[in-house]
Amino acid sequence: MDGGGGGGSTSGDDGKQEKHLVLAHKLFLLSHPDVDDLSKVDLRSDVLSAVKSDDMAPLFESLAAAGVLEPDAVLLSEMRARIDEEIRKLDEKIADAEENLGESEVREAHLAKSLYFVKVGEKEKALEQLKVTEGKTVAIGQKMDLVFYTLQIGLFYMDFDLISKSVDKAKK
């Protein structure tokens, strides 16, 4: 059900981000009037699979409320439980890094939490955590990576203000 396009999870973050942009395109097609109903059935199935595979509870809630996907309280509860458990683990890694490791490990732990929020579709939490990560980032290349993650969030949610701010920040 993973459907990944490569040799495993070592490609990691890049594949996850691309996957979200593909999902954003499918969501756009679902709302487009020129797409026939039969294609929309396949698109809904693809969207549901993507939402389930990444535990995208916030997106599932909004799509169910909009009538795009069928509401499923059990599925939503399961996704929320997995998200809460993973956040707990990430918070433990951050605490451990702050107590026992160096600044780069602390930054990496915060970045992992940021990217997890991106993965599950927690837009505001992802942006907030990316700012925390930026505060712990010194290298210009790593700061640019954070700008690009923010840009990808903007593209996924079609948040033109966020896109504009990200592009402006990248220029500086």
> How high is the pLDDT of residue 146?
93
> How high is the pLDDT of residue 127?
94
Domains of the chain, each with CATH number or no CATH: 12-171 (1.25.40.570)
Sign of CA dihedral 91, 9, 73, 69: positive
Instruction: Dump pLDDT digits (tens) for 46-57.
Output: 999 999 999 999
Query: Of how many residues is the chain composed?
Result: 172
Q: Which residues are CB-neighbours of 4 under 8 A, at least 6 positions away?
A: 15
> How high is the pLDDT of residue 86?
97
> How high is the pLDDT of residue 93?
96
Tokens describing residue 38: 């039969």
> How high is the pLDDT of residue 6?
37
Per-block mean pLDDT, blocks of 10 residues, the chain (172 long): 37 58 91 90 94 95 92 96 97 95 92 95 94 90 92 90 88 78
